């Protein structure tokens, strides 16, 4: 097969790839210079929609409605946009081999791609229960959610199992969002997770108590402190039961598993320096290999604000890291330099009519403000994280745009606090005056 050669190649066609393409276009890219190679069959889209409006029975989101960059209020990049710019999109094309020393990528179909500069934007893959040999985990109607194909299969099952029973395995944000959409689709929903409360990596017990209470009031059954250890299937191979470690058995027509992800970096193993499970980069997303950059979920980068090195699996970082890498590539070509990446971690989730945002770091003492009673109408509460006498992180449920801007500013400025009781009493007004 003929070899294809580009000045820039982005491997992976998700959020980071789309925002990188827009930045390339802004900075100036000649037709034929840039190629995006994606395993998925569609142009880059805003992945968070998959566990939200994409699964709604009404007001459903469908492509082309949520192609990047609508998620951040930008222009929607339709496939024609790439064509107009002379950016080649190789869709349904999986790279199965990368030879960084030879600047070569090889696809599953045997195509060879050469590049001068490579941006690795392969994102993450889900952790599967079959990876741990969980009995019956390969039964039909057990789903995972990462790509649009996964979401389409889930939608088919929801239609086929009308008013059936859904078990959500995992209590992270994906589990919580999927629990909500399953309920909205009129399924009878149970959620199972081993931790003492949902989203334990971010939520405090007080924050989680609100969401667990809210979900319970919506009729969702929450089973904590145990895990799914096996599944039984009917004669068609379709899942029928979820067996829990504590001996309980849950009936299920659909199981959705959201137990975490892992960055997709196996193609580059042994060729590039790694750190904290990702590809190590500098503040410009340059890896240890010349002319190779890594962005989005796969990058472990210097987080200047916390004087730390981190990997971040949030859409906001995927967008911003991609833009930073492209700016750095273009600047280095012109012998210029740009500012180091100075990221303020930002994460959000939405389910039912709830919507929360978190900025900063969740370390140190916590101060809950507002009422976290699941029945308080309308819900408005939050939490400050205070470390070494400074506010370093803020969480807020149902903030207005101004309030969310205010908490972002607090997390960035890290104002000092002397008295945690005072901070609790001041609540959101503390953030509003920073
Ligand atoms: C269902 C869901 C909901 C989410 N909701 C939120 C949210 O509410 N808030 C938030 O902050 N974050 C959310 N995230 C996380 C966010 O979407 C990711 O952090 C973001 O998509 C990362 O962007 P990325 O470009 O690094 O990877 P991705 O967007 O995952 O893109 C990677 C792309 O690379 C392709 N690829 C991988 N390997 C190869 C290969 N070998 N060859 C070719 N192509 C390849 C993949 O098919 C994919 O298209 C959510 C994620 C999921 C899955």
Look at residue 22 and tell me whether its pLDDT is greater than 80.
Answer: yes
Asked if 282 contacts 304 with a C-beta cutoff of 8 angstroms, the reply is no
| 200 alpha carbon – ligand 1 mean position (Å) | 22
CB neighbours (10 Å) of residue 340? 14
What does the domain layout of the chain look like in residue ranges? 3-125+262-333, 129-259, 353-432
Predicted pLDDT at 377: 80
Q: Which of 378, 396, 398, 391 has the alpha carbon at shortest distance from 434?
A: 391
Decide: 357 in ligand 1 pocket, CB within 6 A: no
**In whole angstroms, what is the distance from residue 169 CA to residue 226 CA?**
10
Decide: 40 in ligand 1 pocket, CB within 6 A: yes
Q: Mean pLDDT, the chain, as a whole number?
A: 97
Beta-strand ranges (E) seen in 127-263 are 142-143, 165-169, 188-193, 221-224, 228-233, 239-244, 249-251, 254-257, 261-263
The pick from 10, 15, 345 for probing ligand 1's pocket by mutation, whose C-beta has the most ligand atoms within 8 angstroms, reads 15
Q: How much of the chain is in helix, strand and coil states, percent to nearest 5?
A: 30, 30, 40
**85-98: pLDDT as tens digits:** 999 999 999 999 99
Predicted pLDDT at 1: 66
Look at residue 64 and tell me whether its pLDDT is greater than 70.
Answer: yes
**96-139: pLDDT as tens digits:** 999 999 999 999 999 999 999 999 999 999 999 999 999 999 99
For 45-54, 271-280, 318-327, 372-381, which range has the lowest pLDDT when averaged over its residues?
Answer: 372-381
Decide: 370 in ligand 1 pocket, CB within 6 A: no
Decide: 313 in ligand 1 pocket, CB within 6 A: yes
Predicted pLDDT at 427: 97
Predicted pLDDT at 197: 98
- Take atom 47 of ligand 1 and give the residue whose Cα is closest: 39
- Average pLDDT of 21-36? 97
Please state whether the peptide bond connecting residue 69 to the residue before it is cis, i.e. omega within 30 degrees of 0: yes
Decide: 88 in ligand 1 pocket, CB within 6 A: no
**In whole angstroms, what is the distance from residue 372 CA to residue 356 CA?**
13
Decide: 145 in ligand 1 pocket, CB within 6 A: yes
Question: Which class is 353-432 in CATH?
Answer: alpha beta
- Average pLDDT of 257-281? 98
Asked if 279 contacts 300 with a C-beta cutoff of 8 angstroms, the reply is yes
- Do the domains at 129-259 and 353-432 have one common CATH topology? no
The pick from 45, 48, 298 for probing ligand 1's pocket by mutation, whose C-beta has the most ligand atoms within 8 angstroms, reads 48
CATH pick for 3-125+262-333 out of 3.30.450.30, 3.50.50.60, 3.40.50.2020, 3.40.800.20: 3.50.50.60
Ligand 1, atom nearest to 93 Cα:
43
Decide: 39 in ligand 1 pocket, CB within 6 A: yes
Look at residue 2 and tell me whether its pLDDT is greater than 80.
Answer: no
Decide: 181 in ligand 1 pocket, CB within 6 A: no
CATH pick for 129-259 out of 2.60.40.1180, 3.40.50.920, 3.90.1150.10, 3.50.50.60: 3.50.50.60
Q: Which of 227, 171, 178 has the alpha carbon at shortest distance from 199?
A: 171
| 294 alpha carbon – ligand 1 mean position (Å) | 14
**242-264: pLDDT as tens digits:** 999 999 999 999 999 999 999 99
**366-393: pLDDT as tens digits:** 999 999 999 878 899 999 999 999 999 9
| 47 alpha carbon – ligand 1 mean position (Å) | 6
Secondary structure (3-state) at 87: coil
Torsion, CA 47, CA 49, CA 54, CA 55, rounded to 10: 100
For 52-56, 266-270, 377-381, which range has the lowest pLDDT when averaged over its residues?
Answer: 377-381
The pick from 51, 56, 122 for probing ligand 1's pocket by mutation, whose C-beta has the most ligand atoms within 8 angstroms, reads 122
């Amino acid at each position: 097969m003929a070899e294809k050669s580009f000045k820039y190649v982005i491997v992976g066609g998700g959020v980071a790839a789309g925002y990188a393409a827009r930045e390339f276009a802004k900075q100036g890219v000649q037709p034929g210079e840039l190629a995006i190679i994606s395993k998925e069959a569609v142009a880059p889209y805003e992945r968070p929609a998959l566990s939200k409006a994409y699964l709604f029975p009404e007001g459903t989101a469908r492509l082309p409605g949520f192609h990047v960059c609508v998620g951040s209020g930008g222009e929607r990049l339709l496939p024609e946009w790439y064509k107009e710019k002379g950016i080649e999109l190789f869709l349904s094309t999986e790279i199965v081999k990368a030879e960084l020393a030879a600047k070569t990528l090889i696809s599953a179909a045997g195509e060879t791609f050469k590049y001068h500069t490579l941006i690795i934007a392969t994102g993450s893959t889900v952790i599967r229960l079959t990876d741990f040999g969980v009995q019956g985990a390969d039964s039909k109607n057990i789903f995972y959610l990462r790509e649009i194909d996964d979401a389409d299969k889930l939608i088919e099952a929801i239609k086929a199992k009308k008013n059936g029973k859904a078990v959500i395995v995992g209590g992270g944000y994906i589990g919580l969002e999927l629990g909500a959409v399953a309920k909205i689709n009129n399924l009878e929903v149970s959620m199972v997770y081993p931790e003492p409360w949902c989203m334990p990596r971010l939520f405090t017990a007080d924050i989680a108590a609100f969401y667990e209470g809210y979900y319970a009031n919506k009729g969702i059954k929450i089973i904590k402190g145990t895990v799914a250890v096996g599944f039984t299937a009917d004669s068609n191979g379709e899942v029928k039961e979820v067996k829990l470690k504590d001996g309980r058995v849950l009936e299920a027509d659909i199981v959705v598993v959201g137990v975490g992800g892992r960055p997709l970096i196996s193609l580059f193993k042994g060729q590039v320096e790694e750190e904290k499970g990702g590809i190590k980069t500098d503040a410009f997303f340059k890896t240890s290999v010349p002319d190779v950059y890594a962005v989005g979920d796969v990058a472990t980068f210097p987080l200047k604000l916390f004087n730390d090195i981190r990997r971040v699996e949030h859409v906001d970082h995927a967008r911003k890291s991609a833009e930073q890498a492209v700016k750095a590539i273009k600047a280095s070509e012109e012998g210029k330099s740009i500012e180091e990446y100075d990221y303020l971690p930002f994460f959000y989730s939405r389910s039912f009519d709830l919507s929360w945002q978190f900025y900063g770091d969740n370390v140190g003492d916590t101060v809950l403000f507002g009422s976290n009673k699941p029945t308080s109408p309308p819900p408005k509460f939050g939490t400050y994280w205070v470390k070494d006498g400074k506010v370093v992180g803020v969480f807020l449920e149902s903030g207005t745009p101004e309030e969310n801007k205010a908490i972002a500013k607090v997390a960035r400025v890290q104002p000092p606090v002397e008295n945690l009781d005072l901070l609790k009493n001041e609540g959101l007004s503390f953030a509003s005056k920073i």
